[in-house]
Amino acid sequence: MSKLKAMIVDDSSFSITILRSLLEKKGFEIICEAQSIVDVKEKIIDCKPDLVTMDMTLSDGDGLEASKLIVEKSPNSKIMAISAMMDAEIIKKAKEAGAKAYIQKPIDEEEFNSIVDKLFAGEELYRLLSDNYFEAFKESLMTYLKRFQVNPSVKSEEQTNSHIKSKKSSGISVTIGIIGRHCGRLVIDMSDDTIIELAKRALNKSELAKDEMIAFFGEFGNIVGGNACSMLNTFNRGLSLRVSPPTIFHGKDLTISIGEIKSTSLVLQSNAGEIFMNIGFQRGDDEWM
Amino acid sequence: MDVRLINPFIGAVTGIMPQIGFSNITRKGISLKEKKFMVSGVVLTLGIVGDKKGNVVYSIDMDGAKKIASTMMMGMPVDQLDDMSKSALSELSNMLTANASINFSNDGINVDISVPTMMYGEDIEINLQKDNVVCIDFDVDGIMLSVNVALD
């Protein structure tokens, strides 16, 4: 992984030396320093740092103004406000200006390290989730389907990033909301015949009432979603994924909208018929520190 | 019926809709539905977990959905439910539910919400697998918006 980049905004060369040493120890590459708002304005566009340490008092203005400028020009940069002052009012103002964390001078190394870790934990967790969610849900679905001996095999896999697509339902859909450090949602869709076949095998019955089919499909979604989220939580407990109860949609004229969030679709072929799954997550907000 | 589960959603609709360009929001009625019910038009569902667990389902008929999307997009005409309108409606359901979750927390109930799922069509049967679903109907500048809450 490449080094995270930092920018130090401070008008005291003593503070800059201390911050430089702390950041380098944490593995950051210091790509620029600024001592004034004019300096920030000049450097921020080329810098695009991952982290900015922001002194609240600068020679030609304050850190609030500089923070607003950074939010505007480099919205992905995380700003850590630093000041000798620390009261409710200034913290509130820093937060409003776009800072994600606030730390008081003199800087305690342990506190500094812990805040930096937390600031970037969300980022790392999102990367971990993005890299693994699809495989986890696919494995969960395949593993569960194996119980029914329907020989599932992958027909297609497709990522949907920014454009919205729609998919005509085959007849019945289950959705599960996923809530955690980053949130998402799962949709599984199939025909009535497919779910009836699976339910018959699961319940060991030759005839099935409609309510039994619906109840089974709810449980089907719950198991696939729940098992996949447990699998992802074992990668990192910080994900804290939980599933909401299933909602089942049934109808001849039903269209599923996908792509409001970054998601991946999977189509499986099986002896019971085709099974469609779409799963996606959205990056959660940063927590204030 | 526990009003503590309903009021946060009523507060969200009456608080958020004026902010996005609607002026007359009236509550038409509150009813109890069975766990399954029929809707036509656009349906948005979000999962909720925390001190209370369940789902909220928003439903609007197709013409109403287009009008809401159009108002949210500063009056841009919406003839078809295109990508931009879908995105606007999805965002509306997110705003309403996020606001309801803040209202819940003011009552000491902490809940988190999922990303919305949007579906549309005619005669869709929705099954929430909860015995009591509370439906709150609103008239929003002549558009009927139903908020179906299944929480316990």
pLDDT on residue A162: 65
pLDDT digits (tens, 9 = 90+) for A15-43: 999 999 999 999 999 999 999 999 999 99
Enumerate residues 6+ apart whose C-beta is below 8 A from A281. A126, A129, A130, A133, A178, A182, A183, A184, A261, A262, A263, B115
Chain A hits for B121, CB-CB cut-off 8 Å, are 169, 251, 253-255
Full-model pTM: 0.81
pLDDT, mean of residues B64-93: 93
Burial grade of A131 (CB within 10 A; 0-12, 13-18, 19 or more): exposed
State ipTM: 0.92
Q: Residue A164 pLDDT more than 80? A: no
pLDDT in tens, A216-230: 999 999 999 999 999
* Whole-Å CA distances, A134 to A164, A217, A219, B63: 19, 21, 20, 36
Lowest mean pLDDT among A1-5, A132-136, A165-169, B55-59: A1-5
* β partners of residue A253: B122
Taking CB atoms and an 8 Å limit, are B48 and A248 in contact across chains?
Answer: no
Q: Is A237 on the interface with B (CB under 8 A)?
A: no
Subunit contact A184:B36, Cβ cutoff 8 A: no
Residues 6+ apart with CB under 8 A from A165: A257, A258, A259
Range in A31-45, A112-126, A208-222 the model is least confident about: A112-126
pLDDT of residue A2: 66
Query: A102 - beta bridge partners?
Result: A81
Q: How far is A182 from chain B (nearest CA, A)?
A: 9
pLDDT tier for residue A90 given thresholds of 50, 70 and 90: confident
Mutate to test the interface with A, among B119, B126, B130, B148 (most CBs of A within 10 A): B119
How many C-beta atoms surround the C-beta of residue A107 within 10 A? 16
Q: Whole-angstrom Cα distance, residue B13 to residue A217?
A: 32
pLDDT digits (tens, 9 = 90+) for A192-206: 999 999 999 999 999
Four-point Cα dihedral B94, A129, A6, A94, nearest 10: 30
Query: Cβ contacts of residue A108 below 8 Å, gap of 6+?
Result: none
- Asked if A281 has any chain B CB less than 8 Å from its own CB, the reply is yes
Least confident stretch, A86-95, A221-230, A265-274, B19-28: A86-95
Residue among A164, A179, A255 minimizing CB distance to B114? A179
pLDDT of residue A259: 74
- What residues contact residue A97 under an 8 Å CB cut-off, 6+ apart? A63, A64, A65, A67, A68, A71, A79
Closest C-alpha to A170, from A199, A137, A193: A193
Test the A interface: residue of B58, B127, B128 with most A CBs within 10 Å: B127
Q: Would you place residue A287 in the very low, low, confident or very high pLDDT band (cuts 50, 70, 90)? A: low
Establish if A240 touches chain B: CB-CB under 8 angstroms.
no
How many residue pairs from chains A and B have C-beta atoms closer than 8 A?
128
Q: What angle do CA B108, A90, A17 make, to 5 degrees?
A: 125
Q: Which residue of A has its CA nearest to B124?
A: A251
**A255 at interface of B, judged by CB pairs closer than 8 A:** yes
Q: Which two tokens stand for residue A104?
A: 């008081």
* C-alpha dist (Å) from residue B80 to A36, A160, A165, A230, B32: 51, 21, 14, 40, 33
Question: Taking 80 as the threshold, does the pLDDT of residue A126 lie above it?
Answer: yes
Gap from A122 CA to chain B (nearest CA, Å): 17
Average pLDDT, integer, range A82-111: 90
The mean pLDDT of chain A is 92
pLDDT of residue A149: 93
Q: How far is CA B90 from the centre of its chain?
A: 10
Which residues, including other chains, have CB under 8 Å from residue B135's CB and lie 6 or more apart? B30, B31, B32, B33, B37, B146, B147, B148, B149
Q: Across the interface, do A187 and B117 touch by the CB < 8 Å criterion?
A: yes
CA-CA distance, A286 to A127, in Å (whole number)?
Answer: 14
pLDDT of residue B1: 65
Lowest mean pLDDT among A148-152, A252-256, B31-35, B45-49: B31-35
Share of chain B above pLDDT 70, in %: 99
Nearest to B117 among A175, A245, A252 (CB): A175
The pLDDT confidence band at residue A237, using thresholds 50, 70 and 90, is: confident
Say yes or no: A163 contacts chain B, CB-CB below 8 A: yes
pLDDT at position B130: 84
Do A245 and A222 form a contact (C-beta atoms < 8 A)? yes
- What was the pLDDT predicted at B35? 83
Q: pLDDT (tens digit, 9 = 90+) per residue, B32-60? A: 988 889 999 999 999 999 999 999 999 99
Task: State the pairing for strand pair B36-50/B54-60.
Answer: antiparallel
Band (B111; pLDDT cuts 50, 70, 90): very high
Chain A, residues 41-100, CB within 8 A of chain B, namely: none
The span from the CA of A87 to the CA of A73, in Å, is 28
Interface-testing mutation among B59, B115, B131, B133, with chain A (most A C-beta atoms within 10 A): B115
A241 touches chain B (CB under 8 A): no
- The pLDDT mean for chain B works out to 94
Q: What is the mean pLDDT of residues A134-155?
A: 96
- Kindly list the residues from chain B whose CB atom is less than 8 angstroms away from the CB atom of residue A255: 119-121
Sign of CA dihedral B104, B45, A147, A239: negative
Q: Is A107 left (phi over 0), alpha (psi -120 to 50) or beta?
A: beta
Measure the CA–CA gap between B67 and B115, rounded to whole angstroms: 23
DSSP state, residue A238: G
pLDDT for A250 equals 96
For residue A284, the model assigns a pLDDT of: 81
Residue pair A260/A164 in contact by the 8 Å Cβ criterion: yes
- The answer to whether the CB atoms of B113 and A169 lie below 8 A apart is no
What pLDDT does A85 receive? 84
pLDDT (average), residues B2-12: 92
pLDDT at A288 over 80: no
